[in-house]
Amino acid sequence: MSEGKVVAEKKKNLGRIIFDNAKKHNAMSKAMWDQLAEKMQFFDSDDEIRVVVLEGAGEKSFVSGADISKFESERSNIDSIKEYGFSVNRAYQSLQHALKPTIAKIDGYCYGGGMGIAVCADLRICSENSSFCIPAAKLGVGYGHENTKVLMDLVGPAFTKEIFYTGRRFSAEEANNMGLVNSVQTQADLDEYVAGYVEVMVCLLYTSDAADDTPCV
């Protein structure tokens, strides 16, 4: 069976990060966490890239969390657990400290580590059929203070407690109401809406590099 991977694509000023493990709803293996950090570093070093969009392969999931089928091989002892945690934190930090604006384009499941990725992005735009969940309590997985604080800074302590204590799924509407996402779009309109955001951001953030005096619209 083919392993999942994180793909980087470049189109003019746009960098795309694609989580490609569709058979497992884009669940993240340790290798994929490492690849995410590497791809973000690559875009940071590319002066032509102005905005980075992160998205999942297929139409069912952004990222459904960690690939728990690999826990036996990737988290089998204390040393491997520490190494796995280092890979995850390095990936999160590559987003938190990215030199280019980042947008998480969420279509479908955004669970566990997927929410971790999304909240580290600058903006989150989702389709109306997306859902959000951190099932850490159900899996016996702990979250560090630093990553929890990123979520709390975004939605506040009350919603953060509800997310962690209940482990339940939140709808796109609920995510929007708590401030987890910036906008909810229909699945049919999501691509066009995000593309419009990218165009505006490139225009407004980098007008000094423009080749002409065409105003941003």
What is the DSSP secondary-structure string of 101-157?
A: -EEEEE-SEEETHHHHHHHHSSEEEEETT-EEE--HHHHT----HHHHHHHHHHH-H
What is the reported pTM? 0.90
What is the strand order of the sheet 51-56 is part of?
5-11, 14-20, 51-56, 102-106, 123-127, 183-185
pLDDT for 67? 79
Report the sign of the C-alpha dihedral through residues 40, 60, 130, 143, in that order: negative
Structure tokens at 165: 């204590």
Q: Which residues contact 168 (CB under 8 A, 6 or more apart)?
A: 133
Residues of the chain with pLDDT under 50: 1, 211-217
What is the strand order of the sheet 170-171 is part of?
61-63, 109-111, 131-133, 170-171
pLDDT for 37? 98
Q: pLDDT (tens digit, 9 = 90+) per residue, 158-173?
A: 999 999 999 999 999 9
As a whole number of angstroms, the distance between CA 107 and CA 6 comes to 17
pLDDT for 209? 54
Q: pLDDT (tens digit, 9 = 90+) per residue, 118-147?
A: 999 999 999 999 999 998 766 656 666 777
Q: What percent of the chain has pLDDT over 70?
A: 88
